[in-house]
Amino acid sequence: MEQSSEIMAAPAPALRQRIFEAYLSHLQREGHPPASVYRFCEGGGFTEREFFGEFASLEAVESAWWSGTLERVTASVEAGSEWSSFSARHRMLAFLFAFAEASLDFRSLLLLRLQGRGVLTNPAEFAGFETQFLAFAQRLLDHGRASGEIASRGPLGKLYPQAAYRLFRSVIDFHLRDASPRYERTDAFIEKSTSVLFDLIGKQVLDSGFDLIRFLLPKWTNRA
Partner 1 sequence: MDPSPDPTSGQDSIRSTPLSRMAALAGAGASVGMNYLKYYGKRAVSSQNPENSAAARTALDEANASRIYGTFSQLKGGPLKLAQMLSMDDQLLPAAYAAEFSKAQYSAPPLSWPLVRRTIEREFRQPVEALFQQFTPQAAHGASIGQVHRAVLDGQPVAVKVQYPGVAESLASDLRVVKPVALQMLGLREADVAHYFKEVEARLTEETNYTMELRRSQELAAACAGLKNVRFPAFHPTHCSARVLTMEWIDGEPLDRFADGPASQAERNAIGQALWDFYDYQVHTLLLFHADPHPGNFLVRENQLWVLDFGCTRAITREFHERQFALLDPAVLVDPVAFPAALRALDILLPEDSPPVAEKILALARQSIGLLARPFLSATFDFADPAFMKAIYDMGEANRKDKSLRQLRGARGPAESVYLNRAFFGIYSLLHRLRAEVVIHPVSRSRQAAALEALP
Report if residue 89 touches partner 1, rule: CB under 8 A.
yes
Among 42, 191, 207, 211, binds partner 1 (CB under 8 A): 191
Distance CA 114, CA 177 (A): 11
Q: Which letter does DSSP use for residue 28 in this model?
A: H
Judged by CB under 8 A, the chain residues 129 through 148 that form the site for partner 1 are 147-148
Among 15, 59, 71, 90, binds partner 1 (CB under 8 A): 90
Size of the site for partner 1 (CB under 8 A): 26
Helix (H/G/I), strand (E/B), else coil: 35:
coil
Residue 166 binds partner 1, judged by CB under 8 A: no
Task: Give CA–CA dist 134/163, Å, rounded.
Answer: 10
Phi/psi at 134 (5° precision): -60, -35
Q: Are 73 and 80 in contact (CB under 8 A)?
A: no
**Minimal distance, residue 68 CB to partner 1, in Å:** 24
- Read off φ and ψ for residue 117, nearest 5 degrees: -95, 135
Residues in Cβ contact with 82 at an 8 Å cutoff, skipping those fewer than 6 apart:
94
Q: Which is nearer to partner 1, 139 or 185 (CB)?
A: 185
| Residue closer to partner 1, measured from CB, 30 or 82 | 82
* Residues, the chain: 224
Considering only 85, 121, 221, 222, the residue that binds partner 1 (CB under 8 A) is: 85
The yes or no reply on residue 185 touching partner 1 (CB under 8 A) is yes
Binding site for partner 1 (CB under 8 A): 85-87, 89-90, 93-94, 97, 101, 147-149, 180, 182, 184-185, 187-192, 195, 198-199, 202
